[in-house]
Structure 1
């Protein structure tokens, strides 16, 4: 049975929080921008696969378009060419342990060439690990006509500390938050955050709830999702989920079709305890061969 949570129970969860995390000293979104620049410099100096293998976490996923363990892939494959990208948005959790960046990218099949053979937008989720430091937990992108990489000044956001935002030590509150988030991710009418972003192949990002709803009418709504992985910050202010589902779209008036898709979503939590979707990327999967 699908688990649900009403407003009263959400408020009750907030009252369970034992203490407030200290925002002072937490790393900010500028750290994510610095990491992206280090990553991009490593790609230029070392090549695609060596750099990706170094910056991806052991369980970090890339999407080809199927979700794939990225580090293992790049350790056993050599991807040619050169990839350049610039973070234009960086969002960090209140605790400074989980965040994401997004921005335009360009790919050059000739590693020393100047003519891009591909372009689009990427979204990367970064997670801080006590032993390994900062690593990419998920990396996904869409293709669209190229946009200039020069002159972009990143927009930086540090999510605020929520009232009593530290997750309780026995993990019960985290389980309840995760259950609620899985329900939301599997739903259709998702609550969008302010300046949320929707990414679909072939299109520039849709920004803001109104543009996203208009875009979903033509690009397809993500439905019947199966969450394969969920990562949440220790302070419970940001989480990412990824998995597979269906993208349903209208072929002609009142006639629907659907296609398998992989997806990555980033959710942020408001002070009232409710989750809102900050970014969603869905990539259509190739048709499965007939038996």
Structure 2
């Protein structure tokens, strides 16, 4: 059984607005989670994955539907809920993050916990489908904290490619190490780093990054951006000392320019 690997919530937003548009993404996430309980983890992923959706396996990525079609059924239970969500102005791309727990049965002992993040896209048929899903393991579980749901709204569009955003950040990281992140994060940003309590805001994130024992190599694999060009994502490979895993970044255009809103670092 392949556990869902995921990220935690951010509780700051630039603008709290009517939840109506973003509620579509929240509802999709909640329906996905409910399907996992009423049917199975496998059936939930097969129901909600986009045809181009990916899953990550030890530093690689593969088509999610093909992966889950081959996966064995299990009676194990995976529970999660969103605590932070956002949607592009065009209404075609969104995300949610929140805590998850994994148990053999609903009342059984805790086998795993952490924070997930999911990137969603709205299809031509008006259905929300899962594009990317990644997270980090975390103990103790934050599932019972019941963090209130909050929303993020991007601030206008900008004419730049996600590939260029990634290229600029990675070049700065190669020369400045973790100091490179200071200019691309805000009070709204949240980093989920394996084994650490989620870090929200500039000071907490920089402190969390200083605790990392190594400097990583980031290799972008794929990116996507909303039609309104105000919300984007990038995922790829992280390498260190012959080992590799995956990373995920969600970029948002804010009043301060493009910022990394959510980052998943499984190491």
Shorter-normalised TM range:
0.7 to 0.9
State which of 76, 82, 96 in structure 1 corresponds to 2:77: 82
Q: What are the ranges of 5 or more consecutive residues in structure 1 without an aligned counterpart?
A: 1-24, 168-172, 248-256, 285-291
- Counterpart position of 1:51: 44
Distance of aligned partners of 1:151 and 1:201 in 2 relative to their CA distance in 1, 3 Å threshold: closer
Q: Could you tell me whether the CA contact under 8 Å between 1:142 and 1:283 is conserved in 2?
A: yes
Q: Could you tell me whether the CA contact under 8 Å between 2:80 and 2:143 is conserved in 1?
A: no
Shift of 1:132: 6.7
Deviation readout 1:12-41 (Å, 9 max, x if unpaired) = xxxxxxxxxxxxx99622111111110111
Normalised by the size of structure 2, how large is the TM-score?
0.80
- Separation in structure 2 between the aligned mates of residue 65 and residue 82 of structure 1, nearest angstrom: 22
Query: What is the CA RMSD across the aligned residues, in angstroms?
Result: 2.5
- Separation in structure 2 between the aligned mates of residue 263 and residue 192 of structure 1, nearest angstrom: 16
- Counterpart position of 2:32: 39
Deviation readout 1:65-108 (Å, 9 max, x if unpaired) = 43232221111112521100011100111111111111110001
Q: Could you tell me whether the CA contact under 8 Å between 1:242 and 1:264 is conserved in 2?
A: yes
State which of 199, 207, 219 in structure 2 corresponds to 1:206: 199
Normalised by the size of structure 1, how large is the TM-score?
0.74
Matches within 5 A, 1:103-122: 103-108=98-103, 110-122=104-116
Distance of aligned partners of 1:151 and 1:280 in 2 relative to their CA distance in 1, 3 Å threshold: closer
Shift of 1:177: 2.2
- Counterpart position of 1:264: 248
| SS in structure 2 of the partner of residue 49 of structure 1 | helix
Distance of aligned partners of 1:259 and 1:210 in 2 relative to their CA distance in 1, 3 Å threshold: farther
Matches within 5 A, 1:215-226: 215-219=208-212, 223-226=216-219
Q: Which has the larger radius of gyration?
A: 1
Matches within 5 A, 1:1-291: 28-66=21-59, 67-80=61-74, 81-108=76-103, 110-131=104-125, 133-145=127-139, 146-149=141-144, 151-160=146-155, 162=156, 165=157, 173=159, 176-187=160-171, 188=173, 189-190=180-181, 191-219=184-212, 223-246=216-239, 259-271=243-255, 274-284=257-267
| SS in structure 1 of the partner of residue 144 of structure 2 | coil
**Of 73-82 and 62-71, the range deviating more from structure 2:** 62-71
